[in-house]
Amino acid sequence: MHESLRGQLLIAAPQLTDYFRRTVVLVIEHTEEGAMGIVLNRRTDAEVVEVVPSLAELAGEEDVVHDGGPVEPDSVLALGDFVDPGEAGKQVSGSLGLLDPDRPEPELRRLRVFAGYAGWAPGQLDEEMRQDAWIVTSARPEDAFAPDDLWRRVVQRKGGNFALMATMPLDPRLN
């Protein structure tokens, strides 16, 4: 039996140089059948009001859609900071949860809209963890709504040697 990482943040280790380079992923689900999460720190230029007008009022007029991951990029996930987490379609961690489209008027502190998600086949995330591809840390509600430099901030928050890693340039050869 594996330990579920649901509700945790996965911080891309420096050796990840693919799509997930310097990403921070909130794990939505992690079971024996696989895992899914949302990349929190990839903005797009697409405005929520243009892409998903029905969520514009909840998200805010100026909000943009975020790239949640490479799987099903045409799908939309709305992550909210719920006043009552019981109103979430799926509670993720603390007050964070996914919006239930059948409950159109939840009481939210804030909402962020994502296109696509990150997905792992059965055992794949566990294997990536054994390979030290990800650094795990606890999620805070504000992480899901943070400005652009989330990777650096959550790495620094881990402290110790991680704080030094947070100061690495994007291309270590330029160090």
Q: What is the pTM of this model?
A: 0.91
Place of tokens 């929190």: 40
User: How high is the pLDDT of residue 133?
Assistant: 94
Tokens of 116: 């696509």
Q: Are strands 43-47 and 90-93 parallel, antiparallel or unpaired?
A: unpaired
Sequence-distant (6+) residues with CB within 8 A of 17 are: none
Q: Residue 137 and residue 141: Cα distance in Å, rounded?
A: 13
Helix/strand/coil for 145: helix
Backbone angles phi, psi at 152, to 5 degrees: -60, -45
What domains are there in the chain, each with its CATH number? Answer: 8-174 (3.40.1740.10)
**Mean pLDDT, rounded, for 17-21:** 90
Please answer whether residues 12 and 151 qualify as being in contact, where contact means their C-beta atoms are separated by less than 8 angstroms.
yes
51-91 per-position pLDDT tens digit: 999 898 888 878 999 999 999 999 999 999 999 999 999 99
93-135 per-position pLDDT tens digit: 999 999 987 776 889 999 999 999 999 999 999 999 999 999 9
Residue 167 in this model has a pLDDT that exceeds 90: no
pLDDT band at 1 (very low <50, low <70, confident <90, very high): very low
Q: Residue 107 and residue 82: Cα distance in Å, rounded?
A: 6
User: How high is the pLDDT of residue 15?
Assistant: 84
Q: Residue 65 and residue 60: Cα distance in Å, rounded?
A: 11
Residue 12 or 146, more confident: 12
